[in-house]
Amino acid sequence: MKLKPIFAAMAAVSVFGAAQAAEVEVLHWWTSGGEAKSVAELKKMMEAKGHKWKDFAVAGGGGDAAMTALKARVVSGNPPVAAQIKGPSIQEWAREGALGDISAAATDWDKLLPKVVADVMKYKGKYVAAPVNVHRVNWLWINQDALNKAGGKAPTNFDEFFALADKFKAAGMTAVAHGGQPWQDATVFESVVLGVGGAKFFEDALVKLDAKALDSPTMLKSFDTLAKIKTYIDKDAAGRDWNLATAMVMNGKGGMQFMGDWAKGEFTAANKVAGKDYTCAPAPGTANAYTFNIDSFAMFNVKAADAKKGQADLAASIMSPEFQEVFNLNKGSIPARAGVSKAKFDSCGQKSMADFESTAKSGGLVASFAHGMAVPSATQGAIVDVIAKFMNSTMSSKDAVAALVKASKTK
């Protein structure tokens, strides 16, 4: 991200904007049914505080299109007040001087947030972003009826997974509901790596980018497993949005989907109930691990007093127990902060909470690579390209491993 020259101009624009309305423009990519319901709660809270919410929604799961739109806006000297940015990208934007310090609104956050969450929200010890949730990525979503007919047991390893997939296929279903978009390919890939290699291997390979782990028989086996999964995906998957793949699992056209728990937001929005209409199970082989993906809003460097007030109120709203509860009930994720009642969360939510805590102790808690929590955005992009190419061609696992090693050096 090379943006430095434009920041002087940006600050000037912000000062110029000071006289205008207390409008809080927020960039996000939450446009699916469950996502839109979730973000509407934040809008409601900000309006209750007297702010005018200006929605800057850029459709596209995983946020690639949103990040492109954000860069364009910042380069033109007109950043939004806040933007959905996460993981190391927060540090990248902060290093460029783009983000503002919201520490004054965050005096008790160190006490309220797990360290693994707080660290991501800070730059040089100061809070520059506010966390809304913790998503777990390593889930498998299964149509309950189909599962019952196939024996009722969610697969705990890849042998059981492929046995179940064969049953779904024999029943005339698309065994694996998937959308052929690079970020979705990467989402499946990372759960496979976690299931095949375990949390330590995942961390070495996809967080630390350790060359030995990347260029290993375990990585080769991960690609072989991914290649086999490919054979259970329907031919119309190319370009399909993730929520349409979730809909396939809902209506029984599809058997199961590898996806983070924003998929639960879709089930919930469609009044589907865990344990009755669908099952949430850790992706095969990942019961003792947890790939975390924290959504957060980074605050841009605004000068106008009303915009600053908007940011402080946004930060306070986001961190309120009321918001963290209602937002996460809709979103499928769990609260990022301590002190939120667990009572209303369903069995998947409760499981996510319990597993987040237990894996934090056991070492099974790892940053999601596919969802921008693990490595710099340029490196992530290069690796995701390799995975997408593998998914869309006859590339061998051996060639994929070699390409992965090369892509991991991208800075």
Cβ neighbours of residue 156 under 8 Å, at least 6 residues apart? 281, 284, 285, 287
Please give the residue whose beta carbon sits closest to ligand BGC in the complex: 262
Residue placing its CB nearer to ligand BGC in the complex, 307 or 387: 387
Q: 37, 51, 73, 135: which one contacts ligand BGC (CB under 6 A)?
A: 135
**What are the structure tokens assigned to 61, written together?**
């799961």
Residue placing its CB nearer to ligand BGC in the complex, 187 or 216: 187
Candidate segments 60-68, 110-118, 225-233, 305-313, binder of ligand BGC by CB under 6 A: 60-68
Q: How far apart are CA 189 and CA 186, in angstroms?
A: 5
Shortest distance, position 129 Cβ to ligand BGC, whole Å: 13
Q: 14, 24, 35, 281: which one contacts ligand BGC (CB under 6 A)?
A: 35
| DSSP character at residue 204 | I
Shortest distance, position 372 Cβ to ligand BGC, whole Å: 7
Residue placing its CB nearer to ligand BGC in the complex, 219 or 280: 280
**What are the structure tokens assigned to 149, written together?**
């007919």
9-39 burial, b at 16+ Cβ within 10 Å, e below that, comes to ebeebbeebeeeebebbbbbbbbbbbbbbbb
Q: 51, 240, 264, 371: which one contacts ligand BGC (CB under 6 A)?
A: 371
Candidate segments 61-69, 224-232, 248-256, 274-282, binder of ligand BGC by CB under 6 A: 61-69
Residue placing its CB nearer to ligand BGC in the complex, 14 or 84: 84
Residue 50 has φ and ψ, to the nearest 5°, of: 90, 10
Sign (positive/negative) of CA torsion 348, 351, 357, 359?
Answer: negative
Q: How far apart are CA 196 and CA 256, in angstroms?
A: 19
Candidate segments 58-66, 88-96, 221-229, 401-409, binder of ligand BGC by CB under 6 A: 58-66
Residue placing its CB nearer to ligand BGC in the complex, 33 or 97: 33
Q: 293, 324, 359, 379: which one contacts ligand BGC (CB under 6 A)?
A: 293
Shortest distance, position 31 Cβ to ligand BGC, whole Å: 8
Count the alpha carbons within 13 Å of 97 in the hemisphere toward its beta carbon: 12
Shortest distance, position 336 Cβ to ligand BGC, whole Å: 12
Contact of 135 with 261, CB cutoff 8 Å: yes
Q: 37, 42, 63, 390: which one contacts ligand BGC (CB under 6 A)?
A: 63
Shortest distance, position 397 Cβ to ligand BGC, whole Å: 26
Please choose, from the candidates 174, 190, 334, the residue with its C-alpha nearest in 3D space to the C-alpha of residue 259. Answer: 190
Check residue 295 for interaction with ligand BGC (CB under 6 A).
yes
Shortest distance, position 62 Cβ to ligand BGC, whole Å: 5
Shortest distance, position 295 Cβ to ligand BGC, whole Å: 5
Please choose, from the candidates 232, 108, 120, the residue with its C-alpha nearest in 3D space to the C-alpha of residue 166. Answer: 232
Check residue 61 for interaction with ligand BGC (CB under 6 A).
yes
Residue placing its CB nearer to ligand BGC in the complex, 185 or 295: 295
Q: How many residues does the chain have?
A: 411
Residue placing its CB nearer to ligand BGC in the complex, 29 or 109: 29
Helices (H), 49-143: 64-75, 88-95, 109-112, 115-121
Q: How far apart are CA 51 and CA 308, in angstroms?
A: 12
Q: Which helix (H) or strand (E) holds 365?
A: strand 365-367
Amino acid identity of residue 280, one-letter, is: C
The residue ranges that bind ligand BGC (CB under 6 A) are 29, 35, 61-63, 135, 262, 293, 295, 371
